[in-house]
């Protein structure tokens, strides 16, 4: 995580006064004390889920009041038992799993009018990364492709990123304003890019596109492909 943050600082030229206006929202896997304290020392704001489930269970015992949050879940706040180097707010969440209580905790430097607002802010995080990973996993069969060698697996990941970007560009510039506009990557790959047909090239230029006429999506797909080929890829 730390190299990524430093690279972002360099790329965006984030001075310390700008970091005060930058919030890092971290899932539990990145919410270690080391990561949180490091971000706080660099002047960032945080909205993070804590890493340790055992700690959450211990901290839950210090909650004096639980407020309902949705179905079968409750929120409680405590004073921070840890010195993070800056003032923080700690929220503990309790929920039931198969009738047994489970706990997690959340740390933030931000101020919220209520525990519910705190939890909502964490839950309202941008879901783009989740949707992208889910689409890549199903549409590009990422989970089915594993290599034993590190470099080979790295190549697979890079090729997946390239495929994702190409498909995203195709969806925006070819499928917009068509009946396929809201399709996800899985359906685009499975139902559109699998239409039987052929591309005729001359001097590295596409001269003709033939798709199987009996395919239910062929006619509209031809229109989308023609529009895409007219797109200025330097834009």
pLDDT in tens, the chain (235 residues): 888 888 888 888 888 888 988 999 998 888 899 999 999 999 999 999 999 889 999 999 999 999 999 888 999 999 999 999 999 999 999 999 888 999 999 999 999 999 999 998 888 765 445 445 555 555 566 656 666 787 887 888 788 878 888 888 898 889 988 999 888 888 888 899 999 999 888 888 888 889 999 999 999 999 999 888 887 655 5
What is the enclosing helix (H) or strand (E) of 223? helix 218-229
For 127, half-sphere exposure in the C-beta direction (CA atoms, 13 angstrom radius) is 6
pTM of the model: 0.57
User: What is the C-alpha separation between 182 and 229, in angstroms, rounded?
Assistant: 20
User: What is the C-alpha separation between 118 and 75, in angstroms, rounded?
Assistant: 10
Q: Is the dihedral of CA 169, 175, 181, 185 positive or negative?
A: negative
Structure tokens at 180: 């396929």
Structure tokens at 174: 């070819």
Contact (Cβ atoms closer than 8 angstroms) between residue 82 and residue 105: no
User: What is the C-alpha separation between 57 and 53, in angstroms, rounded?
Assistant: 6
Domains present along the chain, CATH in parentheses: 2-125 (3.90.350.10), 130-229 (no CATH)
């Amino acid at each position: 995580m730390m190299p990524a943050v430093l690279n972002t600082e360099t790329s965006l030229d984030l001075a310390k006064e700008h970091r005060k206006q930058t919030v890092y929202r971290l899932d539990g896997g990145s919410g270690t004390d080391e990561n949180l304290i490091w971000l706080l020392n660099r002047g960032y704001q945080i909205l993070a889920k804590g890493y340790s489930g055992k700690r959450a269970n211990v901290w839950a015992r210090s909650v004096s009041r639980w407020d309902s949050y949705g179905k079968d879940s409750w929120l409680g706040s405590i004073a921070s038992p840890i010195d993070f180097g800056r003032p923080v707010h700690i929220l503990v969440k309790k929920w039931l799993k198969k009738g047994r209580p489970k706990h997690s905790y959340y740390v933030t430097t931000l101020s919220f009018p209520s525990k519910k607002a705190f939890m909502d802010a964490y839950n309202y995080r941008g879901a783009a990364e989740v949707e992208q990973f889910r689409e890549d996993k199903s549409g590009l069969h990422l989970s089915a492709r594993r290599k034993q060698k590190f470099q080979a697996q790295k190549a697979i990941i890079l090729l997946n990123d390239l495929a994702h970007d190409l498909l995203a560009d195709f969806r925006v510039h070819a499928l917009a304003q068509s009946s396929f506009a809201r399709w996800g990557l899985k359906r685009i790959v499975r139902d559109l890019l699998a239409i039987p047909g052929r591309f005729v090239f001359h001097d590295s230029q596409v001269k003709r596109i033939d798709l199987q006429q009996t395919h239910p999506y062929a006619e509209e797909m031809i229109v989308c492909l023609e529009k895409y080929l007219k797109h200025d890829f330097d834009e």
